[in-house]
Amino acid sequence: MRFLLLSLGLCLLLSSCREEPKINYSATKTADFSTAAVAGPHPLATKVALKVLQNGGNAIDAAVAMQFAMAVVYPRAGNIGGGGFLVYRDADGNSEALDYREQAPAAADRDMYLDEEGNVVQGLSTRGHLAVGVPGTVAGIAEMHRKHGSRPWKDLVGYSIDLAMNGYRLSQSEVGRIKRYHDDFAEFNKSTPFSDTTVVEGSLIVQPALAATLRRIRDKGAAGFYKGKTAELIVKEMKSGGGLITLEDLANYKPAWREPISKDYKEYRIISMPPSSSGGLCLAQMVEMLEPYPLSDWGFQSTPAVHTTVEAMRRAYADRAEYMGDSDFYPVPLDSLLDDDYLAGRMNDFREDSAGTSDAIVAGLEAVRESYETTHISIIDAAGNAVSITTTLNGNFGSKVMVDEGGFFLNNEMDDFSAKPGVPNMFGLIGKEANAIMPGKRMLSSMTPTIVEKDGELFLVLGAPGGSTIITAVLQTFLNVTEYGMPLAEAVNAPRFHHQYLPDVIVHEADALGNGVKEDLEKMGHQFRETKYMAVIKALQRLPEGTIVAAADRRNPDDDVKGY
């Protein structure tokens, strides 16, 4: 059996088995394997998943162990203090989605981030204790294991305890990040394992408090987090900084199995995350709007292809702002939003020769201001079960609050709510009533863990971090493979663009829209902003004869992370 371990650093070792791509987008982080594959953001966590698979565990077992391992070695995004989504397709073709997104605490209020004049108080939803939603990760991992796990829970959690106690070595970029966030850590914490600015490349990070928390989770399952000592530590931490989460909030947290969004596009079927994510809905809307157009004839990033794709993006994100939120709390019109006639009608006002307009409700803020902090893992096991998981703290190290004696960072996911109608969040996204804050509600996400079938067979497993750019990155990667005929690594690495309705600009990478395309689009009335920040895809592709191709994105800022 040959397994694929694809991750940062290690993946470079695997590059020799690739042919030179037609278009060279530095497609170095890719490899082909025959049985099972794991793509993830950190080699140590990916190794853990690999070990689980080699010991006969299935894709869910590997994902369980890997997520806990990421909470140890990838603390800026891997987490037990955040939340996430699973899209799962078993080897028989049954698919389901697990929503373990954070929830607003019971004491949360729709105007909690507004001052007396009704203006949003900058920073309140992004930094510190008030920014924290009730974490869902541990409940989600326990639930996916309860339903689909085959290996003992204790063994799977055990890997992360070893990593926390034995330590991991810092890369140069991780050292830089520790220094950059020092003042934030100092503002909200007495001390953390990441507060020492004398660290250098190769310094060992040992996390005994986190190991103790993980032992409680190992011994008691989700109750080791949501009840007893860990819950008490979280609540104590909340009280120390004006946070809202109570013991009841924690005890009441429940993940939810949901019907995935499923949409056919030619011979493909896209299976993706429903609300509380907007990802699957927007992705499905965009492919349906684009299906009638001859994208492959037009060619990759030709003027008409970009123009049409941008206009589909604009319309999907307009619907996101208006209609999308947690469907347990707001009647998201799922059927209407996915209706073929509705979506065909959505393009009625599309003009081939000129840009559409987004109502200028607000002046355009930066669409993406921070770097990538969420994390995506794609796994296919030897039986053909596929796991697509995106999990997050939201910002780098979340709220920057670490639970004292608990050893883990808490999310700042409350910023994904619409703090005030029409006022952009940190990704420049706006929302309205559908995504207003309510106690117990989940904040709207853009995370888009996705599985694609071709002619009914497993074809792609993909997803990404990257805030609002996640959905358009998944769309473009899908189209690059299916319409533009690219091998997976090229599809992942090809330059990208992004439009999210507001601000009304095409955000694009420096190497996108070349050969006069940008100038042509400008003449049609489009506006632009160049960015360095785009989603970071992790993707697997199963070829017809069973080979699994894996590709990690050239965009990952952590290329130097240590695999030891």
Binding site, by residue number, is 101, 392-394, 416, 445-446, 467
- Residues in 453-472 at the binding interface with ligand DON, rule: CB under 6 A: 465-467, 470
Backbone φ and ψ of 506, nearest 5°:
-90, 110
Q: What is d(CA 508, CA 495) in angstroms, rounded to the nearest whole number?
A: 8
Q: What is d(CA 23, CA 352) in angstroms, rounded to the nearest whole number?
A: 28
- Least CB distance to ligand DON at residue 434 (A): 15
- Residues in 345-374 at the binding interface with ligand DON, rule: CB under 6 A: 372-374
**356 versus 431: smaller Cβ distance to ligand DON:** 431
- Least CB distance to ligand DON at residue 136 (A): 12
Q: Which of 174, 416, 504, 558 binds ligand DON (CB under 6 A)?
A: 416
**424 versus 466: smaller Cβ distance to ligand DON:** 466
The answer for residues whose C-beta is within 8 angstroms of residue 14's C-beta and 6 or more apart is 4, 6, 30, 31
**By CB under 6 A, residue 446 contacts ligand DON:** yes
**By CB under 6 A, residue 272 contacts ligand DON:** no
**407 versus 466: smaller Cβ distance to ligand DON:** 466
**By CB under 6 A, residue 137 contacts ligand DON:** no
Closest listed residue to residue 129, CA positions, set 187, 194, 213:
187
Stretch in the footprint of ligand DON (CB under 6 A) among 131-139, 225-233, 330-338, 443-451:
443-451
Using the 8-state DSSP alphabet, how is residue 129 labeled?
G
The answer for residues whose C-beta is within 8 angstroms of residue 385's C-beta and 6 or more apart is 58, 59, 60, 88, 89, 90, 91, 148
- Least CB distance to ligand DON at residue 530 (A): 18
Closest listed residue to residue 503, CA positions, set 445, 407, 423:
423
Residue numbers belonging to the annotated binding site for L-glutamate: 101, 392-394, 416, 445-446, 467
The answer for residues whose C-beta is within 8 angstroms of residue 493's C-beta and 6 or more apart is 25, 26, 27, 551, 553, 554, 555
483 neighbors 295 (Cβ within 8 angstroms): yes
Kindly list the catalytic residues. Answer: 374
**By CB under 6 A, residue 447 contacts ligand DON:** yes
**By CB under 6 A, residue 450 contacts ligand DON:** no
**By CB under 6 A, residue 445 contacts ligand DON:** yes
390 neighbors 374 (Cβ within 8 angstroms): yes
- Residues in 199-258 at the binding interface with ligand DON, rule: CB under 6 A: none
**By CB under 6 A, residue 435 contacts ligand DON:** no
What angle (nearest 5°) sits at the alpha carbon of residue 71, between those of residues 551 and 95? 55
**133 versus 384: smaller Cβ distance to ligand DON:** 133
Amino acid identity at 22: K
Residues that bind ligand DON (CB under 6 A): 372-374, 392, 394, 413, 416, 445-447, 465-467, 470
